[in-house]
Amino acid sequence: MKVSIDWLTLLPVLAPALGALLVLLVDAALPKARLLHLGVTLAALGAGIGVAGWWAAFGGTAGTLCLDSSPGTCLYVAPASASILQIAALAAAAIVVLMLLGDGRDDEISGGPAVAAALVLAATAGATGVVAAQDLGTWLVTLELATLPMIALVALAGRRTSTHGALTLLVTSVLSFALLALGVALWMIATGSPVFATSGTGLSWESDAHLTVLIAAALVLMAGLGFKLSLVPFHAWTPVTYTSAAVPVTLALATISKIAALGALIPVVQTVASVAGAYAPGASVVAVDPRAGVVVAALAGLALVSMLLGNVAALRQIDPVRLLAWSAIGQAGWVVLPLVALDPSGSDAASGYLAAYVVATTVAFVVVHLVHGPVTVGAPERARELSHTGGLARNHLWLGGLLALALLSLAGLPPGVIGLVAKVAVLQPVIAAGLWPLAVVAVLGAVLGVAVYLRWVAILLGIGRSTQPLQRMPGSRLALTLAAAVLVVTSILPSLIFR
Amino acid sequence: MMLLAAVAVPIVVGLWLATAGRPLSRRAALDVALIAALAAAGLLAAALLTDSTLDLPWISRLGISLALGIDGISAPLLVLTAAIGVLVVVLARSHTPEGGSPATYLGAVLIATGGTLATFAARDAILFFLAFELVLIPVWVLIHRFGDRHDEAARRDAGLRFVLFTVTGSVLMLVGILALVTSTGTSSLDELVVAGADLPRGTQTLIAVLLVAGLAIKVPVFPLHTWLPAAHTTAPTGGSVILAAVLLKMGTYGLVRLPFASVPDGFARVAPTLAVLGVIGILWGGLICLVEVEAKRLIAYSSVAHMGFVVLGLASGTAVGVQAALIGNIAHGVISALLFVVIGGLKERWGAVRFDAPLPALREHAPHLGFVLILGLAAGLGLPGLAGFWGEVMAVYGAWSTHGRLFQACAALAALGAVLAAAYALRVARLLWVGEASAPVAPVADAETRGAERLVLVVLVAAIVAIGIAPHLVWSVTAVDVAAVVNR
């Protein structure tokens, strides 16, 4: 079998992977050269962003690794929405690395700067890879590549709780992997092909029973990915692990891992859709094969329950990171909701919503990191409380103002326009598919979300306790500037994300 | 472009004031805000004269374009909004609420004004929704930060209640808008008028129910009004004025623009329910006003009653009824602004205006303010020759002229509600103006209005009299477009 390879197109995946190797090589030659590691990492991520950005802006659908034996079948396919997810993952990784390596201290994560950078780069390569992967093997490997380095990163925080958090994540990941492996096996039985149907092979059916197996495979895969997306009822690890990791690592979990999980979910849902015939123009989801309806019902259930439960739990949180963890669960519900439409516009809406969430949540996490400062390995932990950000918008105008903007984006209220546009984008395919009752339930989720984030915004605007003096953290400050610039620009021009 | 500038100037200047401009002194902030508000009003006037429109693609993926324009239905509301924006900024000269820097307060006022202008100028259904949401946070800040200093818990509760109710309404409305947009394939309000009417009746009804339910919270229609009294009682005077005079109009304007104009058959099926709820609102609001002891709360309930007339006129579906709704909107905007300036100013000077406590007689201690109060009350009860008359009479006439039993019963009950309005207006006049509350007391502080507040009141009085004597000022503008919507 001959495969044609366009190396340049693959750069969003290859650059971080090669960057990880390069960082480790540099570390062997020049140990402790933190700024050099930072430079290499940012250069690798920048190269990936450049290529993915070119494809998103001008190129349309990027495709390579095409099989000569069956024309039209490519194993790497990234439409514009996937390119935007890749950019989001690469940019989030850059922010994470800036926070970990740029603050001029090695002691937040044990193991040295090279290890941290290499782990982040490896996870990023996994995420950008799975977003475009079209064959089951690459899909499974890259998905795990996006997960495993995260466990190490959580454990390296070296705090008492971080071991617990890493163990929780490890157990969850193993369980998730088992489900995914089972799902892939069922998928192979059903389709007899190691390639997703979206890449153009189409599926030929030997018997009707194969479709039933395919639906079962899709459900198992959705459960496995539910862990990674922190959808209820697969969410229990999220608050534990988020709060026990170092904040930059938590940010990586909330962004890079989520992108990998959604990127993995989309081809599964699209294959089911193409089999069920929902791609026919004008076809309503309600009219498709009842077995595909099971997938729709499962997606809708996961989405709405996550949305409601995540936000209700977030209402009661005191630790800002724990609040953001529960809010991540609620937001994951919004990410998955448009997929119920079983059509490409639903997948695009999910990608766009996730990209908007990544931008806003990055700003929120960076501000939390700046306010509370890094926690040194082995040092006693200070409790984080929302009240520590009391009056932040008065005392530190930009810090508090940007956090408020990020929270309003998450809530979907102007001036956080990007968050509001994302909610419109999510509801549109759902309603177009005739599933407006789901949209009416989602209204409740939106209102609960507003209550969650507005509670924090009120604390930011309030009198509150004076915050502890901010530490000098040049890397995190630069990260905040970059992330905030993206948040503001996309709020004015949402079409940068919703292309 | 002129219209875009009229919308953008207050928003941009407001954002700047609320962030980077916050350290500005009170005087400097007042000057900047006044210039911005006047610039917005001037640009709007220029846009009206040149018939400025705009249509730029914005988020093509979602079919959202930056489409702005003015027609007869939106023009009076745009003028009202720009004028109220200027008046509220001027009002801040005599009293800036505590709770934060003056620049933040003025910034919130400007953003709310700009957001409302954008709502009325939007010619794209989804853009209309985005602009609708833009107003929420600044008004929440006005209530939460700058509201009544005496009761922090009430402030927090009122602010949150306002936001949560309104978000519920607006997201429901969004579901309705998206259902409308996806089933017709266009989000342009002008095209929806044609495309929406061709939808099957069941779809139209579903869309109308979603849209009306969402917008009814903003209007507010009984029984979804419970956020309004709390918000009004705690909001600072300027916030109350914006809330009553401008924000509630977004609800009724939305009802005309979306369900009434776009899905006429669906709206016709919802209309009887809406009419009945409107009449319940008239009676309920009137009855509460007979016993309510907190003055700002009383004005808030009278707003519920007045919006009941507007909703009744709209639900009748006749040209007269819709005209009544539009002029009722404007009249209520001016009258409630006047009453909130009077009562809010007194509350700021006295600390509280309650009818169960000894009150000084305004006719003795503040004859000018007393006169304005009486004029406002008279306009509110619908005295001929003042602004409130036309909206109420024509709403009742419009409902009666449908010849439907239900609507005629509603018309009769609404007329009864007008009697209630007279009763509670006289109650307020007796207690506050004559001073019959209890043994006469001397005011704790000076009662008379002066300075910027007096200027604001003079303008509002002039507007009430002008609309009362010459209602065709509004009608001549709205008539053509209303006829176009009703008679198709």
pLDDT tens per residue, range B173-211: 999 999 999 999 888 888 888 888 888 888 999 999 999
Confidence (pLDDT) at A281: 42
Average pLDDT over residues A295-313: 93
Residue A488 confidence (pLDDT) above 70: yes
B19·A401 Cβ contact <8 A:
yes
Confidence band (pLDDT; 50, 70, 90) for A207?
Answer: low
Confidence (pLDDT) at A372: 86
Could you give phi then psi for residue A64, rounded to 5 degrees? -155, -170
Average pLDDT over residues B334-359: 86
Which positions 9-28 of A are in contact with B (Cβ < 8 Å)? none
Average pLDDT over residues A402-419: 93
Q: Per the structure block, which two tokens stand in for B384?
A: 């001929």
B171·A495 Cβ contact <8 A:
no
- Contact list, B22 vs chain A (CB under 8 Å): 397
Chain A and chain B share a number of CB contacts under 8 A equal to 97
- Contact list, A450 vs chain B (CB under 8 Å): 163-164, 167
Touching check for B157 and chain A: CB below 8 Å?
no
Tell which residue, A47, A73, A76, A46, has the closest CA to residue A61: A76
- Contact list, B100 vs chain A (CB under 8 Å): 394, 461
Distance from CA of A194 to the nearest CA of B (A): 33
CB neighbours (10 Å) of residue A108? 24
B178·A401 Cβ contact <8 A:
no
Touching check for B160 and chain A: CB below 8 Å?
yes
Touching check for B470 and chain A: CB below 8 Å?
no
Confidence band (pLDDT; 50, 70, 90) for A282?
Answer: very low
Measured CA to CA, the distance from residue A364 to residue A408 in angstroms comes to: 10
Distance from CA of A84 to the nearest CA of B (A): 14
Average pLDDT over residues A200-211: 58
Query: ipTM of this predicted complex?
Result: 0.92
Confidence band (pLDDT; 50, 70, 90) for A283?
Answer: very low
pLDDT in tens, A101-128: 888 776 677 888 889 999 999 999 999 9
Pair type for strands B54-59 and B64-68: antiparallel
Touching check for A338 and chain B: CB below 8 Å?
no
Average pLDDT over residues B87-91: 92
pLDDT above 70 coverage of chain A, percent: 91
Residue B62 confidence (pLDDT) above 80: yes
pLDDT in tens, A363-377: 999 999 998 888 777
- A468 vs A131: which has the higher pLDDT: A131
> Measured between CB atoms, which of B59, B156, B175 is closest to A494?
B59
B160·A431 Cβ contact <8 A:
no
> Measured between CB atoms, which of A397, A450, A494 is closest to B167?
A450
Q: Per the structure block, which two tokens stand in for B141?
A: 């800040």
Taking CA–CA distances from A398, the nearest residue in chain B reads B19
Least confident of A418-427, A458-467, B286-295, B477-486: A458-467
Residue A1 confidence (pLDDT) above 70: no
Looking at residue B354, what DSSP letter applies? B
Touching check for A439 and chain B: CB below 8 Å?
yes
Residue A276 confidence (pLDDT) above 70: no
Confidence band (pLDDT; 50, 70, 90) for B441?
Answer: low
Touching check for B58 and chain A: CB below 8 Å?
yes
Touching check for A401 and chain B: CB below 8 Å?
yes
Confidence (pLDDT) at B126: 92
Touching check for B164 and chain A: CB below 8 Å?
yes
Least confident of A197-201, A221-225, A426-430, B70-74: A197-201
Confidence (pLDDT) at B376: 92
What is the CA angle B233-B234-B237, rounded to 5? 85
pLDDT in tens, B245-274: 899 999 999 999 999 989 999 999 999 999
Touching check for B167 and chain A: CB below 8 Å?
yes
Taking CA–CA distances from B131, the nearest residue in chain A reads A414
Taking CA–CA distances from B183, the nearest residue in chain A reads A432
Taking CA–CA distances from B185, the nearest residue in chain A reads A432
> Measured between CB atoms, which of B130, B144, B164 is closest to A414?
B130
Touching check for A427 and chain B: CB below 8 Å?
yes
Q: Per the structure block, which two tokens stand in for B325?
A: 């709704």
Tell which residue, A428, A215, A262, has the closest CA to residue A358: A262
Touching check for A492 and chain B: CB below 8 Å?
no
Instruction: Return left, alpha or beta for A246; rule: phi > 0 is left, psi -120 to 50 is alpha, else beta.
Output: beta
Burial of A68 (0-12, 13-18, 19+ CB in 10 A): exposed
> Measured between CB atoms, which of B20, B59, B144 is closest to A458?
B144
Q: Per the structure block, which two tokens stand in for A180?
A: 């995914």
Q: What is the mean pLDDT of chain B?
A: 89
- Contact list, A57 vs chain B (CB under 8 Å): none
Residue B338 confidence (pLDDT) above 90: yes
- Contact list, B157 vs chain A (CB under 8 Å): none
B172·A440 Cβ contact <8 A:
yes
Q: Per the structure block, which two tokens stand in for B366?
A: 């503040």
Distance from CA of B114 to the nearest CA of A (A): 13
Distance from CA of B27 to the nearest CA of A (A): 20
Confidence (pLDDT) at A368: 92
Helix/strand/coil (H/E/C) assignment for every residue in chain A:
CCEECCCCCCHHHHHHHHHHHHHHHHHHHCCCCHHHHHHHHHHHHHHHHHHHHHHHHHHCCEEEEEECCCCCCEEEEECHHHHHHHHHHHHHHHHHHHHHHCCCCCCCCCCCHHHHHHHHHHHHHHHHHHHHECEHHHHHHHHHHHHHHHHHHHHCCCCHHHHHHHHHHHHHHHHHHHHHHHHHHHHHHHHCCCECHHHCCCCCCCCHHHHHHHHHHHHHHHHHHHHHHCCCCCCCHHHHHHHHCCHHHHHHHHHHHHHHHHHHHHHHHHHHHHHHCCCCCCCCHHHCCHHHHHHHHHHHHHHHHHHHHHHHHHCCCCCHHHHHHHHHHHHHHHHHHHHHHCCHHHHHHHHHHHHHHHHHHHHHHHHHHHHHCCCCCCCCCCCCCHHHHCCHHHHCHHHHHHHHHHHHHHHCCCCCHHHHHHHHHHHHHHHHCCCHHHHHHHHHHHHHHHHHHHHHHHHHHCCCCCCCCCCCCHHHHHHHHHHHHHHHHHHHCHHHCCC
Touching check for A402 and chain B: CB below 8 Å?
no
Distance from CA of B101 to the nearest CA of A (A): 10
- Contact list, B141 vs chain A (CB under 8 Å): 461
The helix (run of H) or strand (run of E) holding residue B267 is helix B264-291
Measured CA to CA, the distance from residue A398 to residue A420 in angstroms comes to: 22
Distance from CA of A401 to the nearest CA of B (A): 7
- B282 vs B194: which has the higher pLDDT: B282
B126·A408 Cβ contact <8 A:
no
Confidence band (pLDDT; 50, 70, 90) for B432?
Answer: confident
